[in-house]
Amino acid sequence: MIQLADRMNRLGTETAFEVLVKAKALEAEGRNIIHLEIGEPDFDTPQNIKEAAVKALHNGYTHYGPAAGLPQLREAIAEETSRTRGIPVEPSNVVVTPGAKPIMFFSLLACINEGDEVIYPNPGFPIYESVINFIGAKAVPIPLREEMEFRFDLDELRHLITARTRMIVLNSPHNPTGGVLTEEDLQEIARLAQEHDLIVLSDEIYRRIIYDGYSHKSIASIPGMQERTIILDGFSKTYAMTGWRLGYGVMPVELAERIAQLQINSNSCTASFTQMAGVEALQGPQTAAEEMVKEFLRRRNVIVDGLNSIPGFRCLKPHGAFYVFPNITGTGKTSRELADYLLHEAGVAALSGTAFGVYGDGFIRFSYANSVDNIKEALQRIRIAVEKLSA
């Protein structure tokens, strides 16, 4: 038996992948399972993007490239980020990575010492907490409040900041709640970050998936913030490119150079032909991406209305991303029990809110990256299963 390093005891995981394995095992036994657990668009990558990758393969983009990314893609990202955030961004501010996740890992590794404190949203994407713990820092959760449409209380944030706080992680639109931070929230967070000299890791991966007249605003756009903000963004969600592994960070040049050095020490670089597909994604027609958002909106309305009509469920209408996070305390089951029960009894795979941290207790997450027909069928099955509980 190989002895593991102590730090491995502090590493967490993403339960979505474990539930997927359980659901697949049931399918192998012949059960029909509707997958509402995994956080990826069910759409295919748009054709023009796939063709750009094929063309790149034929044109020799099959070799190592620069650690921070191909100049063409860094240029395209800089241009897009400048335009959408209203800030000056140069290619030297951009680091391209295999998926956006490494930006989390690298930023925390590069900026946070052991014993430093990092404030992160809870419930939240589980990798924040996992990596903060892994590097020996203190993970300080800021609870998201259902009664505030899953934003956090700014007074509470003020109280959590100590002399050891180094970073705040933001994620808007938010996984798993679909919550969106307001302009006033961002202004106050920016003020606090400047007052206490904090770095902000702003996870904007769901930026384009936003509804109800809301528009995304980045904290980096607030005067004085670009120099202390790391924007995390990527292609997985907007362009249905989860399996391509293509993401990026936008940050001050000195940090970008060090993050590129972490890349040299781990991945070397991101695959060259996928980067060329990324250029096409950003510069080609945006119709497919826009159509996906329209379809997500239609599905959101179906699932929110459906869940609210099931006894024991209370579901807010989220303004972004493709998740709903209903309160299920009225069913009399814990989040984990209910997620297990729905998987086995109803054949509907969902995630326990606790997979996103302690403050996810009392909720479960459904991803509505599935067809309207499947969502309707899932709702029907959930209703029957939940009614059995009180029978």
Report the SS3 class of residue 57: helix
Write a three-state SS string for 261-328: HHHHCCCCCCCHHHHHHHHHHHHCCCHHHHHHHHHHHHHHHHHHHHHHCCCCCECCCCCECCEECCEC
Report the SS3 class of residue 63: coil
Residue 233 lies near ligand PLP (rule: CB under 6 A): no
Residue 39 lies near ligand PLP (rule: CB under 6 A): yes
Residue 99 lies near ligand PLP (rule: CB under 6 A): yes
Q: How far apart are CA 254 and CA 39, in angstroms?
A: 33
**In the structure, how many helices (H) and strands (E) does the chain have?**
12, 12
From the list 53-61, 93-101, 113-121, 137-145, the region that binds ligand PLP by CB under 6 A is 93-101
Choosing from 101, 166, 207, 208, the residue that interacts with ligand PLP (CB under 6 A) is 101
- DSSP H stretches of helix in 32-88: 47-58, 71-85
Choosing from 84, 93, 236, 352, the residue that interacts with ligand PLP (CB under 6 A) is 236
Choosing from 125, 313, 356, 368, the residue that interacts with ligand PLP (CB under 6 A) is 125
From the list 5-13, 94-102, 218-226, 265-273, the region that binds ligand PLP by CB under 6 A is 94-102
Residue 175 lies near ligand PLP (rule: CB under 6 A): yes
Q: Which lies closer to ligand PLP via its Cβ, residue 98 or residue 284?
A: 98
Q: How far apart are CA 50 and CA 219, in angstroms?
A: 32
Residue 129 lies near ligand PLP (rule: CB under 6 A): no
Residue 107 lies near ligand PLP (rule: CB under 6 A): no
C-alpha separations of 229 from 32, 97, 210, 215, 255 in Å? 45, 18, 22, 19, 10
Phi, psi of 312 (to 5 degrees): 90, -10
C-alpha separations of 182 from 126, 158, 218, 355 in Å? 23, 17, 10, 25
From the list 17-25, 99-107, 157-165, 348-356, the region that binds ligand PLP by CB under 6 A is 99-107
CA angle 350, 354, 355 (to 5 degrees): 65
Q: Which lies closer to ligand PLP via its Cβ, residue 260 or residue 346?
A: 260
From the list 28-36, 95-103, 180-188, 270-278, the region that binds ligand PLP by CB under 6 A is 95-103
Choosing from 131, 198, 205, 349, the residue that interacts with ligand PLP (CB under 6 A) is 205
Choosing from 78, 100, 111, 198, the residue that interacts with ligand PLP (CB under 6 A) is 100
Quote the strand ranges of 64-222, DSSP E. 94-97, 117-122, 138-143, 165-171, 199-203
From the list 85-93, 97-105, 209-217, 303-311, the region that binds ligand PLP by CB under 6 A is 97-105
Residue 234 lies near ligand PLP (rule: CB under 6 A): yes
Contact 117, 165 (CB under 8 A): yes
Residue 275 lies near ligand PLP (rule: CB under 6 A): no
- Least Å distance, CB 14 to ligand PLP, is 8
Give the residue from 51, 48, 46, 97 showing the smallest Cα distance to 250: 97
Residue 369 lies near ligand PLP (rule: CB under 6 A): no
What H or E segment, with its residue span, contains residue 128?
helix 126-134
- Least Å distance, CB 174 to ligand PLP, is 7
Report the interface residues with ligand PLP, using CB under 6 A: 39, 99-101, 125, 171, 175, 203, 205, 234, 236, 242, 247
